[in-house]
Amino acid sequence: MKEFQLIEHYFRNKGLKRRDVELSIGDDCALVNPADNKSLAISCDTLVENVHFLADIPAHALGYKSLAVNLSDLAAMGAEPAWFTLALTLPDVDQPWLAHFSEGLFEIAEYYGIALIGGDTTRGPRSISITINGQVPKGTALTRDGAKIGDWVYVTGTLGDSALGLDILRGVKTVNTEDKEYLINRHYYPTPRVLAGQALRTLATSAIDLSDGLMSDIGHILTASKVGAVIDVNQIPLSNSIKANLSHEDALSYALTGGEDYELLFTVPESQRGAIDTALIHAGVKFVKIGQISAGDKLKLVENGLEFNPISRGFVHF
């Protein structure tokens, strides 16, 4: 199967059709018509085999996750998903693999209302690069540089499950049979908090998605906002599955440094706490307050009033 046959069979005319797409796959460029009075939110992520995903990951899960991690970037900005492009590098044309990959990709694309409008395919070591585009009302995008001293720090969902799921797949950890599937699926099928991000517009002062681990990612907010933070590790949300299989200290280490949770961490002024409660409950997202923004530029972790030091500090790319 040649390149254009591959594109035609597995990607062209698949998934959602949007009225704001004037010209999609099949030309030198796609043409889209952004809405008036909205800013474009654009992000790009590359996933490389044996760096960002295991070689034996199910193709359906890889297709799903490849788009999910990009949707999480839009969520962190409060943006509505619109369009994406896909650059797919493959060592060979494996048609069953491509069928499952495209099924997973379009499953999540249709759920979040986003259209594939172009891309590229080439031969080489397996990697997936997606450029995603979203729209957000002008002046309402969430950024990393707005946290203020006294703001409260929140996270959605539970933390650490994905990293533990990865270690199960690597054979590093063993868990109870009843928890294994849940933890692995939390790694394979993350939930981008798109509706939560939109609900936080005009309410949160800053936000970021948790891709590299809570300690690493909150550091980006502190640096951009020129503030510090105190985090109470006993308030960090842990799933029943992680608590049933790890010691308290190990569970906290996974939650703080494991990465790939793709939950949202955000800061909220005292005046908006009630509004946040209403907005996120309406969006159907669980969330919890874990700390507070402070003066200075340091991140301080505490447990029962004492300093807490986790085992590692999260994923770094280089």
Residues comprising the binding site for Mg(2+)?
A: 28, 43, 45, 73, 120, 209, 212
Q: Are 214 and 265 in contact, with CB atoms under 8 Å apart?
A: yes
Task: Please state, in angstroms and rounded to a whole number, the distance separating the CA atoms of residues 215 and 311.
Answer: 11
* Percent of residues in the chain assigned helix, strand, coil, to nearest 5: 35, 25, 35
CA 203 remoteness from chain centre: 20
One-letter amino acid of 136: V
Q: How many CB atoms lie within 10 A of CB 78?
A: 27
Taking CA atoms, 232 is separated from 19, 162, 229, 247, in Å, by: 47, 21, 10, 18
Query: Phi, psi (5° rounding) for residue 209?
Result: -95, 150
Binding-site residue numbers for substrate are 52, 260, 315
Q: Are 57 and 185 in contact, with CB atoms under 8 Å apart?
A: no
For 301-312, b where at least 16 C-beta lie within 10 A, e where not — what string? bebeeeebebee
Binding-site residue numbers are 28, 43, 45, 52, 73, 119-120, 144, 209, 211-212, 260, 315
- Beta strand 264-268 with 206-209: parallel, antiparallel or unpaired? antiparallel
Binding-site residue numbers for ATP are 119-120, 144, 211
User: What are 265's two structure tokens?
Assistant: 């961490």
Q: Where do the DSSP E strands lie in 197-263? A: 206-209, 228-232
**Residues 6 or more apart from 124 whose CB is under 8 A from it?**
89, 90, 91
